[in-house]
Amino acid sequence: MQFLSDNTSTACPEILAALEAVNHGRVHSYGDDEWTQRLERCFGDYFATSVRAFAVATGTAANSLSLATLSPPYGAVFAHREAHIETDECGAPAFFSGGAQLALLDGEHARITPQGFAQALADHPSVNVGLHSVQPAALSLTQMTEHGTVYRAADVARLCELAHARGLKVQMDGARFANAVAFLGCHPADITWRAGVDVLSFGATKNGALAAEAVVFFDTTLVRDFELRRKRAGHLFSKSRYIAAQLLTYLESGLWRRNAERTNALAQRLAQAAAQYLLHPVEGNELFLKLGVERRQQLRAAGFEFYDWGPPHRGEARLVVSWDQPAADVDALCAALARL
C-alpha cells in the first residue's frame, strides 16, 4: 500500500475523458484554440475576479516562471526553508530568473509568520549595504505548506501587506491549493487575491490531472514578460488544448474539490490513528510522523510504502493520501498504526 506521494497517483477518469472530448478537428496551435481561450474565463469564474491564466505542465515550471517574472536576476525571494522551490526543484528559481536568490525563513510547521517575515525584511543585508546585496523582490508562500499545514486567510493577508509595503510581489505555490481551500472551507479568492497574492501556481496534477498546472496572474501587468519566458523555456505546448482540457474539467466539474475533500478526510482518519506521532497538525492530505527508525521499519515490513523525511537517522516519515487511494489502504494503515 502506497503513501509515497500524491504524484504517484493515476489521472482521474474525468480527465482522460476530457482529452478524448477535445480530440477532434485541427485547431490553431500554441494556445490559440477555443479551450485554451476559455481557460481565463474559467479561472476568472473560479476566483470571482478578472485574471490572466496560463497552462504549464509541471509545478516547477509554474513556480519558476512566475518567480522569474517577479524578480530581477539580483532579486531575493523570501521563502520558507522547507519550501519546495528550495529543497526539491534543483535550483530552478535561480535558473529561470538568471540568478535570483532565496532568502530562507524559519517558522513552525513550515509556515512563515508575519513576525518572522517582518524581522527578515528589517535584517536583510540590503538595508545596511544597499546595492552590495541582492534586493528583496518577492515573497513566496506555499499553500498548503510542505508540512501539510494551511495558512489562514488573515495570515496570508498580513504577509502580503508586509511584502507590498516594501515593494515586494507575492507568489503562491499552490501545488496542493485545492486541499487548502477544502480544509478552510473558504472561497478560493479569500486566500489569494483578496488577501493580496499577485500570482498563483495553481496545481492540478497531484489532485487528479495527468500533467496540468496553471499560472494565474491577479496582477496582470507582467503577463507579457511571463509569456515570453514560458515560450523560451519550452513550456508553451503546441497542442495546448490537451492541457487546457484538463484544467477546464478539473475546475468546472468540481473535481478539484471532490478529490481534495476526499483525501483530506482520509488523512484526518489517519491523523487520529497516529495522533501520538504527529510532528505537524494535519490540515490536508499529508502526515508527518516521528516514528523512530524501528517503528518506521515495522510499517514498511507491514507493506506500507512512504518516504523518510529528512535525514534517515531522524526516524521521521511523510505519508501522503492520493485522490485514488483505496479506503482500504487507509483502514489497513490505521490498524497498523494501532499495532505499533
Please report, as residue ranges, which positions from 41 to 80 form the binding site for a copy of itself (by CB under 8 A): 56-62, 64-65, 72-74
CB closer to a copy of itself out of 159 and 236: 236
Question: Interaction with a copy of itself in 81-140: which residues (CB under 8 A)?
Answer: 87-92, 94-95, 98-102, 122-123, 125, 127-129, 131-135
Min dist. Cβ of residue 72 to a copy of itself (A):
7
Residue 2 binds to a copy of itself (criterion: CB under 8 A) = yes
Q: Considering the complex, state which of residue 86 and residue 283 has its C-beta at the smaller distance from a copy of itself.
A: 86
Smaller CB distance to a copy of itself: residue 72 or 303?
Answer: 72
Distance CA 321, CA 73 (A): 37
Contact between 233 and a copy of itself by CB under 8 A: the answer reads yes
Contact pick of 80, 111, 235, 280 for a copy of itself (by CB under 8 A): 235
What is the closest distance, in whole angstroms, from the C-beta atom of residue 326 to a copy of itself in the complex? 10
CB nearer to a copy of itself: give 196 or 208.
Answer: 208
Residue closer to a copy of itself by CB (options 94, 291) is 94
End-to-end distance of the chain based on CA atoms, in angstroms?
17
Of 271-310, which residues contact a copy of itself (CB under 8 A)? 307-308, 310
Tallying the residues shown for the chain, one arrives at 340
The answer to whether residue 4 forms part of the interface with a copy of itself (CB under 8 A) is yes
- The verdict on 16 binding a copy of itself (CB under 8 A) reads yes
In the complex with a copy of itself, the residue whose CB is nearer, 89 or 283, is 89
Residue 68 · residue 97 · CB < 8 Å: yes
Which of 214, 231, 147 lies closest to 175 in space, CA to CA?
A: 214
Inter-CA distances, 76 with 41, 72, 171, 179, Å: 33, 9, 13, 28
Buried/exposed code over 114-150 (b: 16+ C-beta within 10 A; e: otherwise): bebbeebbeebebeeeeeeebbbbbbbbbbbbbbbbb
The least CB distance from residue 232 to a copy of itself, in Å, is 4
d(C-alpha 293, C-alpha 65), whole Å: 39
Interaction of residue 211 with a copy of itself, rule CB under 8 A:
yes
Residues 156-185 that bind a copy of itself (CB under 8 A): none
Diameter of the chain measured on Cα atoms: 60
Q: Which stretch binds a copy of itself (CB under 8 A): 106-114, 223-231, 265-273, 330-338?
A: 223-231
**Does residue 237 belong to the site contacting a copy of itself (CB under 8 A)?**
yes
Q: How far are the Cα atoms of 66, 103, 199 from residue 169, in angstroms, in the given order?
A: 11, 14, 8
Q: Which residue has the cell 497498523?
A: 336
Minimal distance, residue 152 CB to a copy of itself, in Å = 28
Amino acid letter, residue 55: A
β-pair type (307-308, 286-290): unpaired
The interaxial angle of helices 34-47 and 241-252, nearest 10 deg, is 30
